[in-house]
Amino acid sequence: MKKFLATLAALAITIVPVAANAKTLTDGEVKLYTNLIEAVKKAGVEFKLNPPACDENPNTFGWYNPPGRELVVCQENRVRGSRDYVRWTEEDLDTLRHEAHHLVQDCVDRQLNGHLHFLYEDTVGLVKNVLSTDTIDRIIAAYADKPDYVKMLELEAFSVAAMNDPQEQIGDIQTYCLSK
């Protein structure tokens, strides 16, 4: 519980995004992200912010680990080797949304068993409507060694994260992970 309260406190810090022209989140938006983290935890998944494993690959922003039932965010501006929380950036929030969608993909079959499924019937249409061709190409290149199914799961997660609607994601977690 102490860890969870510290995480909420860290999230509640005024968010100063990296980009100079980016906006600071309102109190309502901070509450939405706090609620998204709470939904992840209610689904039986531990939320970790800047665990030591983040330092193993400095280019990793986070992950969803189904067998370990954990969702991790490695804050972009964290100090390597430190477990201290820093102000959240837009990238950090995007990572939270992306990994939260992988949790939903895991719950689509109502089993939370590490078998990810598509949430959207027309994933290709979603991806084309939300992501630019350049972004799609970069994602596909980043996952070049993965099967097409995994590439599409990633494209769906990147698309949902880009839609930037944590309230919808909370609803998806409630629908697919909490109502069995």
Write down the pLDDT at residue 23. 61
Task: Return phi, psi of residue 71, to 5°.
Answer: -120, 125
Question: CA quadruple 50, 53, 57, 62: dihedral positive or negative?
Answer: negative
Cβ atoms of 69 and 141 within 8 Å: the answer is no
Reply yes or no on whether the pLDDT at 163 is more than 90: yes
Burial bucket for residue 134 (CB in 10 Å: 0-12, 13-18, 19+): exposed
3-class DSSP state for residue 70? Answer: strand
- Mean pLDDT on 20-38: 81
Of 11-25, 36-50, 117-131, the range with the lowest mean pLDDT is: 11-25
Task: Please give the structure tokens belonging to residue 178.
Answer: 């909490």
Q: Give per-residue pLDDT as tens, 113-138.
A: 999 999 999 999 999 999 999 999 99
Q: How many residues does the chain have?
A: 180
Condensed to tens digits (0 to 9), the pLDDT of residues 44-58 reads 999 999 999 999 988
pLDDT in the model for residue 172:
98
Helix ranges (DSSP H) in 13-117: 27-42, 90-107
Neighbours of 25 (CB within 10 A): 19
pLDDT at residue 161, rounded to an integer: 98
Q: What is the pLDDT of residues 67-109, one digit of tens each?
A: 999 999 999 999 888 888 888 999 999 999 999 999 999 999 9
What is the structure's pLDDT at 5? 33
